């Protein structure tokens, strides 16, 4: 034990690298037995019934492993779990809690030291060492076990062995949900080259490299146009517009100039390209806003496409009549376009998030996708894979029973999708006549089409930051007009809520650096930043108003408002902008003005703002985080975050009451708008307009058309009196199940019953 730290690191690393859950638990007991020189080491993990199941042991009877289950609170193992404290005994049999289990044949062992494995506050298992001698384990030995148990709890928290899944021999990998659904197909590995791995090297002939660069741009533009046509043939024409984001960057002077400067400074073309791609990608990656942060993946995708095109590499052709699951660190749209219509069954990205363009395109195509899995061991070309986008899991080489079950789930999923497609053009009305409006969130031109295709009644939140982020200087008024006009025209006759520039804090511009702030979330951002830089705000407002000429569907939305003076200052600027444009001959009108309620201080000031604004939009993500003082993206506290927390529901209830008293229309955007439990409660609280990602609209519309408003009101009333988010969720989920909405909570749960 003199090298405890090194031994600890060795054990943890060995367990982490084990390829199967069964290998992990066996390594635990074997490594500890050897390191501590004990006669017995056993690992118990809690199952769904809170029993402690003996999953691995070195020293106890082999026949007891995976058969012995200790009832909750029973015996010394139960005492450790119940007390959440080590139990260290020289003679275990003399303790009142001792519970003899004949199958283990442990009567030969006297000394006992058990420590709990705790994850997110819950005991998930117990680690035990035993010896033949009557002696108490030393403090050093006990401390070693306690420390090791803390590490093992993180590794074993989601072990399928604890849930009785030992019969499933297939490998299971978890990730982040990219697109819902079940897909079964054969792996095609997409790993042709990584731009970020390219090193700098001298450029022998900068003039020739510049010519190669422009030739490369032309070739990749032509490839994108061809791939766009391929995708447009299999789905609606608008879906393939996702390529416009790539075309936009390929034509952007700032990006092109960055590469050219790198070449002229003496770097070879791939090195200069890498520098430019990383520069723009890092701008987005540093942001807290998940949507904007995910744009770094899109830029990285395009960089890899350019690099591989320079190397002469093209996506592999698909073999005939072979279902395909594309797997890669970042699966590109080119790879997706290369698979014939109907043959692509799933997408797995080792990196990436649910908001990347790969995930957006997968949703638009109806292809299940799992993102951010990390490296997958034992993955091989042509291996049979199951992509479970509903639960963000991937199964490698599944057994017959697992495969049969997932095929049934896939069949159920197709049945559900056919039902949802039929709802696209139907109104979002409850069975008892309450009318709701469903908007979409967007921020890229390529995201416009999915919203329209899924029946969005408008845009509830259009983020205007991206044109500012991908340039080396502030975009001109004309450039902004060109972008905003496309969005407004696409939703002609429908409201488009454009948020003014939300820059500052975590969202910095390369050409306008902001000094580091100790707490950017409470710093110089949103309306505070733009009012202090009113020349930028004036240009943006003029561009918005000009773009809406003849359409009149623009609604301007102000972020991070916390005081009346901010609204008054913006109103003055808005009136000035409209007057300027009218004097210049533009036929424009003053658009409706609203504020985002995301700072808690805004809530109590709603009565003061009634005659100054036209609408309110609740930004549920930031409001929930500020109210709970929890960052939902911080893994250490994310488990405590829940937007149906009583504090959040009570404040939203107060917002809606104040708005109703002063006749101010209210909408809500953020994750709450696509969470079925939250939506049911929001309906009951009186909210009638919600904005969400385009792919969520059909399911939420199904919920609205199935749940009577009177039922939603009763749920909301009960929930406002409830202390615990978990209890609120259980109550609402039970009601959703009762009205046949189980598939919204857990896909496949209702479809099976309907079809049998």
Residues acting as catalytic residues: 357, 669
Question: b/e map of 23-46 (b: 16 or more CB within 10 Å)?
Answer: ebbbbbbebbbebbebbbbbbbbb
Helix (H, G, I), strand (E, B) or coil at 529: helix
Q: What is the DSSP letter of 200?
A: P
Which bin fits 498, alpha (ψ -120 to 50), beta or left (φ > 0)?
Answer: beta
704 membership: H or E segment, kind and range: helix 697-706
Query: Which DSSP helix (H) or strand (E) runs through 667?
Result: strand 666-669
SS3 256: helix
CA distance 285 to 423: 37
Residue 319 tokens, joined: 């073999």
Residues 558 and 11: their CA atoms lie apart, in Å, by 53
CA dist., res. 320 & res. 318, Å (int): 6
Phi, psi at 534, each rounded to 5° = -65, -20
Q: Where are the alpha helices (DSSP H) in 422-473?
A: 448-453, 466-469
Between the CA of residue 479 and those of 171, 440, 483, 540, what are the distances in Å?
50, 24, 7, 10
SS3 603: helix
Which residues are CB-neighbours of 332 under 8 A, at least 6 positions away?
190, 301, 304, 305, 315, 358
User: Do 602 and 666 meet the contact criterion of CB atoms below 8 Å apart?
Assistant: no
- Rg of the Cα atoms in the chain: 29
Pairwise CA distance, residues 64 & 498, whole Å: 64
Return the HEC string of 14-79.
HHHHCCCHHHHHHHHHHHHHHHHCCCEEEEEEECCCCCEEEEEEECCCHHHCCCCEECCCCHHHHH
In angstroms, rounded to a whole number, what is the distance separating the alpha carbons of residues 673 and 693?
A: 9
Q: Strands 52-58 and 554-558: what pairing?
A: unpaired
Q: Exposed, middle or buried by CB within 10 Å (0-12, 13-18, 19+), for 5?
A: exposed
Structure tokens at 124: 């998930």
**How many residues in the chain?**
756
Please answer whether residues 526 and 619 qualify as being in contact, where contact means their C-beta atoms are separated by less than 8 angstroms.
no
Neighbouring CB atoms inside 10 A of 588's CB total: 23
What residue spans of 447-563 are helical by DSSP H?
Answer: 448-453, 466-469, 477-490, 527-532, 534-547
Sign (positive/negative) of CA torsion 505, 506, 507, 513? positive
Check: CB of residue 177 under 8 Å from CB of residue 370.
yes
Q: How many CB atoms lie within 10 A of CB 395?
A: 20
Q: How far apart are CA 442 and CA 491, in angstroms?
A: 12
Q: What's phi and psi for 442, nearest 5 deg?
A: -155, 170
Q: How many Å apart are CA 469 and CA 503, to the nearest integer?
A: 9
Query: In whole angstroms, what is the distance from residue 104 CA to residue 108 CA?
Result: 10
Q: Is the dihedral of CA 439, 441, 444, 450 positive or negative?
A: negative
> Cβ–Cβ contacts within 10 Å for residue 618, how many?
30
């Amino acid at each position: 034990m003199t090298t405890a730290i090194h031994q600890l690191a060795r054990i943890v690393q060995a367990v982490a690298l084990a390829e199967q859950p069964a290998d992990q638990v066996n390594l635990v007991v074997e490594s500890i037995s050897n390191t501590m020189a004990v006669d017995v080491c056993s690992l118990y993990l809690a199952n769904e019934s809170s029993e402690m199941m003996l999953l691995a042991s070195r020293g106890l009877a082999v026949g007891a492993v995976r058969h012995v289950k200790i009832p909750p609170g029973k015996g010394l193992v139960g005492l450790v779990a119940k007390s959440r404290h080590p139990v260290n005994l020289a003679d275990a049999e003399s303790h009142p809690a001792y519970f003899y289990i004949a199958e283990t044949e442990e009567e030969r062992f006297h000394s006992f030291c058990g420590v709990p494995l705790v994850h997110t506050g819950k005991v998930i298992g117990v680690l035990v060492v035993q010896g033949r001698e009557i002696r108490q384990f030393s403090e050093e030995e006990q401390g070693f076990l306690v420390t090791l148990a803390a590490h093992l709890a993180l590794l074993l928290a989601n072990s399928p062995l604890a849930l009785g899944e030992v019969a499933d021999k297939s490998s299971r990998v978890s990730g982040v949900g990219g697109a819902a659904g079940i897909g079964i197909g054969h792996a095609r590995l997409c790993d042709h080259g990584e731009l970020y791995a390219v090193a700098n090297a001298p450029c022998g002939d900068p003039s020739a490299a510049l010519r190669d660069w422009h030739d490369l741009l032309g070739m990749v533009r032509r490839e994108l146009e061809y791939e766009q046509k391929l995708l447009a043939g299999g789905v609606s024409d608008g879906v393939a517009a996702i390529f416009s984001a790539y075309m936009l960057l390929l034509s952007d002077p700032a990006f092109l100039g960055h590469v050219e400067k790198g070449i002229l400074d003496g770097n070879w073309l791939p090195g200069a390209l890498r520098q430019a791609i990383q520069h723009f990608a890092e701008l987005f990656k540093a942001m807290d806003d998940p949507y904007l942060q995910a744009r770094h993946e899109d830029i990285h995708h395009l960089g890899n496409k350019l690099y591989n095109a320079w190397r002469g590499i093209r996506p592999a052709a698909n073999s005939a009549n072979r279902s395909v699951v594309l797997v890669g660190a970042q699966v590109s749209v080119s790879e997706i376009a290369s698979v014939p219509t109907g043959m692509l069954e799933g997408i797995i990205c080792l990196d990436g998030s649910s908001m990347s363009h790969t995930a957006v395109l997968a949703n638009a195509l109806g292809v299940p996708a799992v993102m951010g899995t990390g490296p997958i061991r034992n993955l091989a070309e042509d291996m049979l894979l199951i992509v479970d986008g509903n639960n963000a899991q991937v199964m490698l080489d599944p057994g017959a029973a697992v495969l049969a079950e997932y095929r049934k789930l896939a069949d159920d999923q197709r049945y559900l999708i056919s039902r949802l497609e039929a709802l696209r053009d139907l109104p979002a009305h409850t069975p008892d006549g309450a009318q709701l409006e469903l908007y979409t969130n967007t921020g890229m031109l390529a995201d416009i089409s999915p919203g329209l295709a899924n029946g969005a009644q408008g845009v509830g939140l259009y983020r205007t930051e991206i044109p500012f982020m991908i340039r080396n200087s502030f975009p001109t008024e004309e450039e902004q007009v060109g972008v905003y006009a496309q969005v407004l025209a696409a939703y002609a006759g429908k409201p488009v809520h454009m948020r003014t520039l939300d820059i500052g804090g975590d969202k910095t511009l390369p050409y306008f650096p902001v000094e580091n702030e100790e707490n950017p979330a409470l710093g110089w951002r949103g309306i505070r930043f733009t009012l202090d830089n009113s020349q930028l705000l004036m240009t943006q407002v003029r561009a918005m108003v000009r773009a809406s000429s003849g359409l009149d569907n623009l609604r301007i939305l102000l972020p991070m408002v916390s005081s009346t003076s901010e609204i008054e200052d913006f109103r003055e600027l808005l009136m000035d902008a409209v007057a300027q444009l009218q004097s210049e001959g533009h036929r424009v009108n003053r658009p409706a003005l609203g504020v985002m309620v995301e700072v808690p201080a805004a809530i109590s000031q709603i009565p003061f703002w009634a005659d100054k604004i036209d609408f309110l939009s609740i930004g549920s993500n930031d409001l929930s985080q500020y109210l709970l003082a929890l960052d939902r993206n911080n893994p250490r506290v994310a488990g405590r975050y829940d937007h149906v927390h009583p504090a959040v529901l009570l404040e939203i209830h107060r917002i809606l009451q104040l708005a109703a008293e002063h006749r101010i229309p209210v909408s809500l955007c953020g994750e709450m708008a696509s969470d079925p439990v939250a939506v049911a409660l929001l309906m009951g609280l009186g909210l009638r307009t919600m904005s969400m990602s385009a792919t969520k609209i059909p399911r939420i519309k199904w919920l609205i058309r199935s749940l009577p408003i009177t039922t939603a009101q009763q749920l909301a009333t009960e929930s406002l009196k409830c202390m615990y988010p978990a209890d609120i969720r259980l109550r609402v989920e039970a009601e959703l199940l009762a009205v046949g909405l189980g598939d919204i909570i857990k896909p496949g749960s209702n479809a099976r019953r309907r079809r049998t």
